[in-house]
Structure 1
């Protein structure tokens, strides 16, 4: 998305204000309020993108590696998931809100392509910026005056740069979960995937990336094995957890080790996330022992 966006001019007196503000109020109500929307919408976008990348099955780690048809499908997936999240039904366009036919447009770039059938109708605009891990959710009426003169082969037009001011934003530059692999240095990724076994790759993953929640999807992508969870568990001294413990690193589960994660002051982990941490003091050793985990301190 564009780094600099004009302030919205959709306020009282604007020709689209009454319509767009009523749609915005309905969307927020259906989402459970602004805070709920800020939590659920970014997570939904991340899942839509990652489910198409399919790192565990394909080995791909970024949006840029997708085929053109897969990139297009992300837009369809976002449309479906957004309707489900808000409890909206399908209409003549993508959905219906308060009796109005509304189109849903998604982009991973800096603009949206508006089809001819959406002209004159309100549109929900969704954008995901992978590079900056930011997302956007806005509303616009697809008036011809707001669109570019040029069009693509499908007769779709984009929103003119100056007319971005006619977007009523619900979320603007909202942080969303970044692509995990964008947060890991390339050298570390190379070391992680250089391991010849699932245990070696898993051990290297949690050695290289510490104090950061790591999802099951990432674990599955690194293990490259059907029983990937076995690589997490202790395994008679041979599992990743065992190898790391001998290095003074504890590997914790958000589902089973939440009290210890909190006691160590580590970031919150969901029940499907894991986190590793280098134990650096006798106090942390004792704390881990209180929760049934033995670990060596490496001086």
Structure 2
């Protein structure tokens, strides 16, 4: 996503104070990214419907996204209710607006002259943007707006957004990253357990959010489908797969050379015993390395250590 103009937003002390407050609450944007992920997952309701794409939603559901985003944001950050608008941030009334189309926020008459927290994103690219803008009349196009008298920012008005985060990543849906034929193969399995197993095979080396496990299994208890006593850790071990938790196996994820997971993500990694006794990851008294094309898997993956226990 790129800005259309080079103009810097006009000076606005209240807006800047709201931006500072937002950055103090979430310096990295990770918490806002989690809100966006949770909102998509709430709308998809994958555990009941098996849906995971925006184009699978009904028009009314798409329209409802902004409301769910606002609710999730208020829960995550415990914003006070505004006096006339959605939130109070840094002592200032702020309206919250989401648009799936960048810049197309629908702004009601009551926000004119006030601040709006505007956000946009794409689940396909797993990127989001969030900023704050003073909704001045001169930032709006001439015209009547829609039937609710809502207007969008003009081209110039969009340059007046003070971005807090722009085109930043949020936890991706792996089902939107792997090839379509692999997704078809996952959903073509007859049972929830078989679908989750196929998910971890297809997504080897990729972070898998727990919501994706729920969607594929079509049940809420993702941990049941993953854990060792009958879940994918058991069924995939003979094929050499470890299924790591971002919450309990962060040290193994790092030792195997992968980026840090969130506590709500899993990672499947196919491993074989290391030929070099001085290199590899120590698990269950033996060193292991990631499988490479051409390797023959003749040894089951080891049992994972209890919640965060390290071996040397």
Shorter-chain TM-score range:
0.7 to 0.9
Residues 103, 123 of structure 1: 8 Å contact kept: yes
Alignment partner for residue 202 of structure 2, among 205, 208, 218? 208
In the TM superposition, 1:73-222 aligns within 5 A as 73-90=64-81, 91-110=83-102, 111-150=104-143, 151-222=145-216
**Could you give the per-residue CA deviations for residues 53-98 of structure 1, whole angstroms, max 9, x where no partner exists?**
1111111111222222222222112223333444422121112345
Worse-superposed segment, 125-134 or 187-196:
125-134
Q: Is the 8 A contact 2:206 2:267 kept in 1?
A: yes
Q: Residues 51 and 215 of structure 2 are in contact (CA less than 8 Å); yes or no, is this contact kept in structure 1? A: no
SS of residue in 1 equivalent to 2:243: strand
TM-score using structure 1 length: 0.84
CA contact (8 A) 1:129 1:135 kept: yes
Distance 1:168 1:249 in 2: 46
Which range moves more in the overlay, 176-185 or 246-255?
246-255
1:24-53 CA deviation, whole Å, 9 max, x = no partner? 223333x15x33xx2211111111121111
Q: Is the 8 A contact 2:173 2:209 kept in 1?
A: no
**Shift in Å at residue 281 of structure 1?**
4.6
* Maintained 8 Å contact 2:240/2:271: yes
Query: Equivalents in 2 of 1:83, 1:192: separation in Å?
Result: 35
In the other structure, the counterpart of 2:282 is: 287
Q: Which moved more, 1:102-111 or 1:275-284?
A: 275-284
Which shifted more, 195-204 or 135-144? 195-204
Separation of aligned partners in 1, 2:96 and 2:236: 47
- Deviation at 1:287? 3.1
Contact 1:8 1:164 in 2 (8 A): no
Measured after TM superposition, the shift of residue 239 of structure 1 is 5.0
Segments of 4+ moved more than 4 angstroms: 225-228, 283-286
- Cα deviation, residue 190, structure 1: 0.8
For the 8 Å contact 1:285–1:297, the answer to whether it is kept is: no
Question: 1: distance between equivalents of 2:264 and 2:91?
Answer: 39
State the number of aligned residues.
287
